[in-house]
Structure 1
Amino acid sequence: MSAESAEVQVRPGVETDLAALTDLYNHYVRETPITFDTAVFTPEERRPWLLSHLEDGRHRLMVAAETGSQRILGYATSSAFRAKQAYDTSVEVSVYLAPEAAGLGVGTLLYKALFEALADEDVHRAYAGIAQPNVPSTRLHERFGFRHVGTYREVGRKFGRYWDVAWYEKEL
């Protein structure tokens, strides 16, 4: 099964997605080193994150949902890279998929929609930090033209061990 055969709709995220998006993210908090958050969130704790991603502008939230059921299969975001004003034209991007959606092309659909949405925005570079190892994420980013620019060694500790984060960059 592919994302196309599952009839996936990619659209901007909305407030009614908050509970499902929080559940999806919490899976990665609990089960993986992909995010360095170590405590799960309630939907109310995640609300500021959701509200910081608008339907226009540099900071977007794109959601992939099954057509009909609207079950969330994943999401992609472009967020502030750093807080200082000189970084405003740079964004950090990420994709999170429901475990059952991995390998179906949903990440590709999400990034395609996200980068199309950013095409008319004043964004110069996109950055992605990928906790290592994560071959599927590395491949996804490389397919979209990201190039490796460096690795922070043992920068995060989770599950009793240290993890590297490889940084990737894409000109927009």
Structure 2
Amino acid sequence: MSSGSTEVQVRPGIEADLAPLTALYNHYVRETAVTFDTVVFLPEERRPWLLSHPKDGPHRLMVAQERDSASRPGRLLGYATSSPFRAKPAYATSVEVSVYCAPDAGGRGIGTLLYKALFEALAGEDLHRAYAGIAQPNEPSVRLHERFGFRHVGTYAEVGRKFGRYWDVAWYELPLGPRT
């Protein structure tokens, strides 16, 4: 896969990705209201999260990285996940999805590549709906989700407080798999 002039590899996440995944996520914790985590993580603190996304099943982790060159390993450009929507058993056929791109990789199609690979990987799973919560404002994320067919289903007003202010979260829904 390519994005602009950069060759990009999208693959399932592995344990060796833990440090760069943590560093990428910590950028969003420190600098943005995209996530409502407020304290950065050490890689070991994120290990349970990484391990909760195996290479098969409904809860996946896909990473995008520059293709390796002879001179250096490929840099992590972003990741997408599908995670449990809620803990109760009746929610098992719903997932919450998210995508995070390296700050300098935004607008290059990395999120599109990641979601395309994630939804292709989930195609054979027993899933009915995907949900995405998008802290507002975040027009690039809204556009990405709408491009994949998500539709706005509601907004939680002032649901999270970070950086001394309250933030709304808009919720988006995407039907998955056959309808029953």
> Normalising TM by the smaller chain, what interval?
over 0.9
Q: How many residue pairs align between the two structures?
A: 171
Query: What root-mean-square deviation, in Å, do the aligned CA atoms of Structure 1 and Structure 2 show?
Result: 0.8
User: CA separation in 2, counterparts of 1:9 and 1:170?
Assistant: 25
User: CA separation in 1, counterparts of 2:58 and 2:3?
Assistant: 26
Q: What are the within-5 Å matches in structure 2 for residues 68-83 of structure 1?
A: 68=68, 69-83=73-87
User: CA separation in 1, counterparts of 2:40 and 2:130?
Assistant: 27
Higher-Rg member (1/2): 2
1:28 aligns to what?
A: 28
Secondary structure of residue in 2 paired with 1:129: strand
Deviations 1:85-125 (A, max 9, x none): 00000000000000010000000000000000000000100
Displacement after TM superposition at 1:3 (Å) = 1.4
User: CA separation in 1, counterparts of 2:3 and 2:9?
Assistant: 9
User: CA separation in 2, counterparts of 1:10 and 1:48?
Assistant: 22
Deviations 1:26-85 (A, max 9, x none): 000000000000000000000000000010000000000000132100000000000000
Relative to structure 1, the CA distance from residue 11 to residue 4 in structure 2 (aligned partners, 3 Å threshold; closer, same or farther) is farther
Instruction: Select 1:86's aligned residue among 83, 90, 102.
Output: 90
User: CA separation in 1, counterparts of 2:4 and 2:49?
Assistant: 29
Instruction: Select 1:155's aligned residue among 156, 159, 162.
Output: 159
1:44 aligns to what?
A: 44
2:115 is equivalent to residue 111 of structure 1: yes
Relative to structure 1, the CA distance from residue 4 to residue 54 in structure 2 (aligned partners, 3 Å threshold; closer, same or farther) is farther
User: CA separation in 2, counterparts of 1:168 and 1:79?
Assistant: 15
Instruction: Select 1:171's aligned residue among 157, 161, 175.
Output: 175
Compute the TM-score of the two structures, normalised by the length of structure 1: 0.98
User: CA separation in 1, counterparts of 2:4 and 2:136?
Assistant: 29
Compute the TM-score of the two structures, normalised by the length of structure 2: 0.94
User: CA separation in 2, counterparts of 1:67 and 1:130?
Assistant: 29
Secondary structure of residue in 1 paired with 2:11: strand
2:130 is equivalent to residue 130 of structure 1: no
User: CA separation in 1, counterparts of 2:53 and 2:161?
Assistant: 28
Secondary structure of residue in 1 paired with 2:24: helix
Structure 1 residue runs without a partner (length 5+):
none
Runs of 4 or more consecutive aligned structure 1 residues displaced over 3 Å after TM superposition = none
Secondary structure of residue in 2 paired with 1:7: strand
User: CA separation in 1, counterparts of 2:93 and 2:74?
Assistant: 32
